[in-house]
Chains A and B, each alone.
Chain A
């Protein structure tokens, strides 16, 4: 049973649940708690299903990399066909139940997210371009938009900016990690920026994407779900992340070897706090609005 659960990538699922929940809770439309619970369950199951489909498709790559060789399919504990079946069945279940429990837009967005992760990212981009993480990151950025659609039945500037926040955050977050982790993506035939364009180009990409991320994060503060508290958090976290990205950009391979990637490891950790802090601040703004304190 544990192997089937591992197919659903529970760690990715927890981030999806968190961001979808924030999207749902910060929306101006109240949702019945049980319907909200079912919606989050569907989004989590949908995310898990796309994880299973990803593991089914990528079993050949996973078998060639140390980090993933122990996954259920390459280690032989789960048959590829089983993973495909579980992925398809859970996708259907999550999409249909979300449509029945909430609305068709939310269900469509969930279906598109699963399609994007399983087909556009896993089957196509991952093996084709070193920008795979940039466009593939969209799959991880959809959950708050789905949460928002569950409550409001629509898409608006707030949900688009929440999407954009995760979308723009993913590349610098991932590349900071790629700079200090010795990966074997090359052996598996997966083009990663650090290997196709080199580490200097990756450092440049980190600073460029962080610069593009800042206006998105700050801009979200001026929408109906932002407020002074969110803006204060955003200013501090963006300054911190930008400083880290700048430090990475100024470094050379010799610097990295000398201090054992101290800066890259630090920036990777900051990137985790960064996303968490932004979404927590949005939740706090929503909580404060209940007492007529939050927002503008």
Chain B
């Protein structure tokens, strides 16, 4: 015997739930795609690292290097 009894309401709501699932998946795809495009538009990846809000010594130009 199944743990949860399938109610007629569940069957009726199936279409709505699938639709909502698709909308959420689409939303994730849009946000992900937008993130990729926005990051790629920055050109320089070091720019992206600056969004980490954490000090990154490796992206700070060292004084005297190459002199």
Report the minimum CB–CB distance from B12 to chain A (whole Å). Answer: 11
A98-140 Cβ-contact flags toward B at 8 Å (1 or 0): 0011000000000000000000000000000000000000000
CB neighbours (8 Å) of A1 from chain B are 15-16, 19
CB neighbours (8 Å) of B41 from chain A are 32
A1 to B21 CA separation, bound complex (whole angstroms): 12
CB neighbours (8 Å) of A41 from chain B are 30
Q: Which residue of A lies closest to B18 (CB)?
A: A1
Q: Is A291 an interface residue (CB 8 A)?
A: no
- Whether A32 and B37, one on each chain, are in contact in the complex, defined by CB atoms closer than 8 angstroms, is yes
CB neighbours (8 Å) of A97 from chain B are 30
B23-67 Cβ-contact flags toward A at 8 Å (1 or 0): 000000010011001000100000000000000000000000000
Report the minimum CB–CB distance from A207 to chain B (whole Å). Answer: 46
Report the minimum CB–CB distance from B34 to chain A (whole Å). Answer: 6
A101 to B19 CA separation, bound complex (whole angstroms): 25
- Whether B16 and A34, one on each chain, are in contact in the complex, defined by CB atoms closer than 8 angstroms, is no
Q: Which of A147-162 contact B (CB under 8 A)?
A: none
CB neighbours (8 Å) of A15 from chain B are none
The count of residues in chain A whose C-beta lies closer than 8 Å to any C-beta of chain B is: 10
Chain A CB within 10 Å — which of B16, B19, B30 has the most?
A: B30
Q: Is A277 an interface residue (CB 8 A)?
A: no
> In the complex where A1-B15, A1-B16 touch, is A35 in contact with B37 (Cβ < 8 A)?
yes
Q: Is A211 an interface residue (CB 8 A)?
A: no
CB neighbours (8 Å) of B16 from chain A are 1
Q: Which residue of B lies closest to A41 (CB)?
A: B30
A74 to B52 CA separation, bound complex (whole angstroms): 51
Chain A CB within 10 Å — which of B16, B19, B34 has the most?
A: B34
A100 to B34 CA separation, bound complex (whole angstroms): 9
A47 to B34 CA separation, bound complex (whole angstroms): 21
Report the minimum CB–CB distance from A109 to chain B (whole Å). Answer: 20
- Whether A35 and B19, one on each chain, are in contact in the complex, defined by CB atoms closer than 8 angstroms, is no
- Whether B19 and A38, one on each chain, are in contact in the complex, defined by CB atoms closer than 8 angstroms, is no
A100 to B41 CA separation, bound complex (whole angstroms): 14
CB neighbours (8 Å) of A101 from chain B are 34
